[in-house]
Amino acid sequence: MKANIGTLALLLMTSCLDLQPPEADLIPPSVVEFLPQGEDVNVDTRMTVLFSEIVAISPGDDSLVVVLPADQLDGEFLDDLNKPPLSSKHSMLTVACRVERDLEGMRIELEPDQALEEGQAYNLVVSAAVTDLSGNSLVDELRYDENGRLTGTRTHILHSFSTLAGGILMTEVLANPEGPESEGEYLEIFNRSRMPIDLTDWRLDDEGGAGQGDLLGACSSGQVPVIGSGAVALLVGQSFIRPVDLAPDTLLICSDHASLTPRGLRNTGDEVLVLKDANGAEIDRYGGWVDMSNQAGCAATRLSLSEPDSQSNWAIPESDPCRTPGWIE
């Protein structure tokens, strides 16, 4: 009898105060953001998945959030991923990563054990088996149903990105040196790949790709024209004089002429330079975007290594010095 009176009193008090019993968590989790984004991602990048709430992924779990080359992803892999644990057959296709939790479990970070491949498309995939702490399954996006409740379609979530392609980039052009042009003009190149590159029999074409180009080779007799990973070289003419502001150990690659090109570089721009490998394939080009005729001693500089050749990506630095031969920031 005492229990019945206590229960009745609790119900009356709840009714008077208009209190509602606590409801279970029925809102499913979704992915809010993937990082990195784009087609020029650094090979040593960390990958991040941000969820709308805390999810039930244990530290070190490598079967619910994975990254793999895009050409390895198929329906069979996704079926396996959505029914963890991932089989050894498919685990071998994924990039080995250390998985960490942040924001108490709302953000999952993957740090590859080794650098990703250059110029490779990847998929970052979250298994459909991911749930929140209440067991609600991962959905594609949160939306309201006819009863005004947040819901969505249970599924895996996929994100694509590509790493920066390796190879040679043109990074600085000095067409109007303060002294004689043949002694000072240069074209700076940078090896952004993880491997050294042999420039033997490479050519520089100043006709925008229409010509074969002039043969390039090491300026010093007996030297092999190999540019190391992350290293810089200057393409110059036979009469080039090494400037005092040139970075130490910068490789000099000479053309067959006293100046870099048969007629020397045009100070006013409008001269498209194309770098070709030993097979005649175009490697990179400078579109002749910058007029250097009124700024002797200043170089046109590539502003971003990840952006393509365009007028907006080349300019003469406003700061001093206005040229930095052999240096890449």
Judge if 294 and 177 occupy the same domain.
yes
CATH value at residue 216: 2.60.40
Judge if 41 and 158 occupy the same domain.
yes
117 with 58: CB under 8 angstroms?
A: no
Beta-carbon contacts of residue 200 (< 8 Å; ≥ 6 apart): 217, 224, 225, 278
Name the pTM for this structure: 0.65
Judge if 36 and 119 occupy the same domain.
yes
Is 291 inside a domain boundary?
Answer: yes
Judge if 152 and 224 occupy the same domain.
no
With residue 76 as reference, give the H or E element that holds it: helix 75-81
Domain boundary, last residue among 133, 162, 191: 162
Angle at 329 between CA 283 and CA 226, to 5 degrees: 40
In angstroms, rounded to a whole number, what is the distance separating the alpha carbons of residues 83 and 224?
A: 54
60 with 113: CB under 8 angstroms?
A: no
In angstroms, rounded to a whole number, what is the distance separating the alpha carbons of residues 273 and 171?
A: 12
Counting residues of the chain whose pLDDT is more than 90, the rounded percentage is 73
Is 326 inside a domain boundary?
Answer: no
In angstroms, rounded to a whole number, what is the distance separating the alpha carbons of residues 117 and 6?
A: 69
Is 325 inside a domain boundary?
Answer: no
Judge if 117 and 186 occupy the same domain.
no
Token duo for residue 43: 């090979």
Count Cβ atoms below 10 Å from residue 262 Cβ, excluding itself.
12
Concatenated DSSP letters of 244-265: TTSPTT-EEEE-SSSSSSTT--
Q: Provide the pLDDT for residue 62.
A: 73
- Give the confidence band of 59 by pLDDT, cuts at 50, 70, 90: low
Judge if 74 and 92 occupy the same domain.
yes
Predicted confidence (pLDDT) per residue in 215-254, tens digit: 999 998 888 899 999 999 999 999 999 999 999 989 999 9
Judge if 186 and 301 occupy the same domain.
yes
Distances (CA, A) of 143 to 52, 140, 147, 198: 13, 10, 11, 56
Token duo for residue 143: 């939306």
Predicted confidence (pLDDT) per residue in 178-201, tens digit: 999 999 999 999 999 888 999 999
Write out the residue range of the structural domain in which residue 51 sits.
24-162
- Give the confidence band of 21 by pLDDT, cuts at 50, 70, 90: very low
Mean pLDDT of the region 68-73: 97
Is 321 inside a domain boundary?
Answer: no
Q: Are strands 47-51 and 107-112 parallel, antiparallel or unpaired?
A: antiparallel
Mean pLDDT of the region 120-124: 96
In angstroms, rounded to a whole number, what is the distance separating the alpha carbons of residues 298 and 276?
A: 26
